[in-house]
Chain A
Amino acid sequence: MNVLTWIAVAVLVVGSALVAVLYLREVYLYARKPSRHSEAHD
């Protein structure tokens, strides 16, 4: 049972780290895309 608890800790840490990396990549790509306001301005 203790092993399962450590696995659960690892799943949350690794899972959230992976999501964080992919999320930051998304945010970076999203931020590089011009907003509707700047598109309209251009």
Chain B
Amino acid sequence: MTSTNLLASWTALDTAVVVVYLAAVTLIGIVVATRIGSFDDYFMAGRRLSVPVLVGALVATYYGLDVTFGAPEAAYYDGISIFFAYSMPFYLAYFLLAVFVAPRIHALGVRSLPEAMGLYYGETAQILSAVASALYSLPVLSIAGMGVLGEALFGIDPVLSATIGAAIAVFYTVFGGLLADSLTDTLQFLIMCVTVAIAGAFAMVTVGGYDQLQPQMEPHLFEPLGQLSAFDIAVFATVALTPLVDPAFYQRSLAAESAKAIKYALLIGTGIWFAFDWLVVYLGVAGRHLVDTGAIPGDIDTSAIIVYTVGHFLPTGLLGLFVAGCIAAAMSTIDSYALVASGNVVNDIYSRIRNEKLADKTLLFATRLGVIVTVALALVLSFRFERIRDMWIFMASILVSTVLVPMLVAFARPAWATPRAGAYSCGAGLISTFLLFFAFELFGQFDAESESRLLTLGPVILDREYIAIVTLPTAILSFLIGACIDRLRRQP
């Protein structure tokens, strides 16, 4: 079944499911808006998020269309190694986050990741972290994904479908803040999980599981580490450290009703992420089998392989649920990160630069306005970049390079957290990422085989996807230099 006949089998019931979903999230925003009285109500949900709401908010926020579409596409080419080499290191990071990091974040009592940095390292580190956090949180990927979804499913102009989806997410986030965001995330989490579970079950019954597929398909698809090099795996492990400094995780940890609540929510979430990853990777491999056997045309856009695979299995009536699940995956990410980015700019940059404590009403108004500006900016950027992946690499590298080293040192050894160490590390991480990224743009060459830009520096060939391999050691070195200077100055 191709996208064309996926649309042909669309019924009024499918439309009704999507309409009910969109109406429900809008209604939640309106109802919650009546309970917002202060900035803490808006940005921190009154610091009373409970375990079930946190589970939904964490899972739905962190898993957008990049995972729902990206993992099956990667599995289509590289098989189950995507689960073992790419997804599994993340579970270790989630576990560390749950057990060691999140309870410490919660105890800080601040409002954001940059504010936590400011608490340990001072104003410069807070502002630099806020810049990195706001850039990372621009929901470019999910907004572009909404465009791809609208075009792949219904042939709607991608800019129009992305604008409609983003506008609805903005509507309920502007009104209801983090509470509306978390409540809608929970609804979105339920739809995402049920959709993937049903699709997985239908695929198992129709084409069989890995045990049935393995004898009929290429062997490398079933090797746990596939054709990945040790270097690839090391790079994946570095990327997996991102959750330890993800600003949305910090916001939810700080908004949890207790340290125990965020710890349990993350541990439960890890189980859900494991199951979700396993199934979307399986659906990617099953999609490859359908293409190999001619059940799906070979000339399809593989970035939407899950759409074709699920469309092949799901009966009429459940298609609407699947589409609602895809919209939910994108919207839950757009709303959460737009709120974080806006909060970073207003609370951590504007307020600190003006060096004054803004009135609660001003903060509330500015953050609401910031949500609209953030999504509008992301909407423009999502259609300016030729390759969305380039934007994502830049955003993730900037966050990890700027914040990871000083934040983890502060949690592990608070005595080592000195102002210069934080400022130098953040500054070096931020600047080196910018410089390297633009060096790749100006002097690098696109390599079709690796689908990335390569930069030749004498005997060394650098891949742009791996710039954190250079910027992270730069941040560590700068941290040590800053710490040494502070120590020397303190000595009589």
Interface residues of A (CB under 8 A from B): 1-2, 4-9, 11-13, 15-16, 18-20, 22-23, 26-27, 35-37
With A8-B278, A36-B34 as given contacts, are A16 and B190 in contact (CB-CB < 8 Å)? Answer: yes
The listed residue (B208, B209, B271, B282) touching A15 by CB distance below 8 A is B271
Interface residues of B in 191-250 (CB under 8 A from A): 193-194, 196-197, 200-201, 204, 208-212
* Candidate in A11, A13, A15, A20 with the most chain B CB atoms within 10 angstroms: A15
**Interface size range on B against A:** 35 or more
- Taking a contact as CB atoms under 8 Å apart, the answer to whether A12 and B275 are in contact is yes
- Taking a contact as CB atoms under 8 Å apart, the answer to whether B34 and A35 are in contact is yes
- Taking a contact as CB atoms under 8 Å apart, the answer to whether B193 and A12 are in contact is yes
The B contact surface, by secondary structure, is helix
- A22 contacts across to B, CB distance below 8 A: 50-52
Q: Jot down 24 A-B pairs with beta carbons below 8 A, ordered by A.
A: A1-B209, A1-B210, A5-B200, A5-B278, A5-B282, A6-B209, A8-B200, A8-B275, A8-B276, A8-B279, A8-B282, A9-B204, A11-B271, A12-B197, A15-B268, A16-B189, A16-B190, A16-B272, A19-B186, A22-B50, A23-B52, A36-B36, A36-B37, A37-B34
Lowest 6 CB-CB distances: which A-B pairs, in order? A2-B209, A22-B52, A11-B275, A1-B210, A12-B197, A8-B275
- A15 contacts across to B, CB distance below 8 A: 193, 268, 271-272, 275
Cα–Cα distance between A19 and B52 once the two chains are bound (Å):
5
Interface residues of B (CB under 8 A from A): 34-37, 50-53, 55-56, 183, 186, 189-190, 193-194, 196-197, 200-201, 204, 208-212, 268, 271-272, 274-276, 278-279, 282
- Taking a contact as CB atoms under 8 Å apart, the answer to whether A9 and B200 are in contact is yes
Q: What distance in Å separates the Cβ of A41 from its nearest Cβ neighbour in chain B?
A: 11
With A5-B200, A26-B50 as given contacts, are A12 and B272 in contact (CB-CB < 8 Å)? Answer: yes
- A19 contacts across to B, CB distance below 8 A: 52, 55-56, 186, 189-190
Cα–Cα distance between A18 and B200 once the two chains are bound (Å):
20
The A contact surface, by secondary structure, is helix
Given A5-B278, A13-B197, A16-B194, 14 new contacts (CB under 8 A): A2-B208, A5-B204, A5-B209, A5-B282, A6-B204, A8-B275, A11-B271, A12-B193, A12-B194, A12-B197, A12-B279, A13-B193, A15-B272, A19-B186
Chain A: CB-nearest residue to B194: A16
- Taking a contact as CB atoms under 8 Å apart, the answer to whether A23 and B56 are in contact is yes
Chain B: CB-nearest residue to A4: B278
- Taking a contact as CB atoms under 8 Å apart, the answer to whether B210 and A5 are in contact is yes
Chain A: CB-nearest residue to B222: A1
Q: What distance in Å separates the Cβ of A35 from its nearest Cβ neighbour in chain B?
A: 4
- Taking a contact as CB atoms under 8 Å apart, the answer to whether B52 and A26 are in contact is yes
Q: What distance in Å separates the Cβ of B79 from its nearest Cβ neighbour in chain A?
A: 12
Q: What distance in Å separates the Cβ of A32 from its nearest Cβ neighbour in chain B?
A: 13
Cα–Cα distance between A4 and B200 once the two chains are bound (Å):
12
Q: What distance in Å separates the Cβ of A37 from its nearest Cβ neighbour in chain B?
A: 5
- Taking a contact as CB atoms under 8 Å apart, the answer to whether A20 and B190 are in contact is yes
With A2-B204, A5-B209, A12-B276 as given contacts, are A26 and B271 in contact (CB-CB < 8 Å)? Answer: no
With A5-B282, A11-B275, A15-B272 as given contacts, are A23 and B209 in contact (CB-CB < 8 Å)? Answer: no
The listed residue (A6, A7, A23) touching B186 by CB distance below 8 A is A23
- A12 contacts across to B, CB distance below 8 A: 193-194, 196-197, 200, 272, 275-276, 279
- Taking a contact as CB atoms under 8 Å apart, the answer to whether B52 and A13 are in contact is no
- Taking a contact as CB atoms under 8 Å apart, the answer to whether B211 and A2 are in contact is yes
- B201 contacts across to A, CB distance below 8 A: 9
- B268 contacts across to A, CB distance below 8 A: 15
- B212 contacts across to A, CB distance below 8 A: 2
Cα–Cα distance between A37 and B56 once the two chains are bound (Å):
28
- A35 contacts across to B, CB distance below 8 A: 34-35
Cα–Cα distance between A4 and B196 once the two chains are bound (Å):
15
Cα–Cα distance between A12 and B34 once the two chains are bound (Å):
33
- A26 contacts across to B, CB distance below 8 A: 50, 52-53
Q: What distance in Å separates the Cβ of B357 from its nearest Cβ neighbour in chain A?
A: 23
- Taking a contact as CB atoms under 8 Å apart, the answer to whether B186 and A9 are in contact is no
Cα–Cα distance between A28 and B117 once the two chains are bound (Å):
37
The listed residue (A1, A11, A18, A36) touching B274 by CB distance below 8 A is A11
Q: What distance in Å separates the Cβ of A13 from its nearest Cβ neighbour in chain B?
A: 5
Chain A: CB-nearest residue to B196: A12
Cα–Cα distance between A5 and B200 once the two chains are bound (Å):
8
- A18 contacts across to B, CB distance below 8 A: 52
Cα–Cα distance between A20 and B275 once the two chains are bound (Å):
17
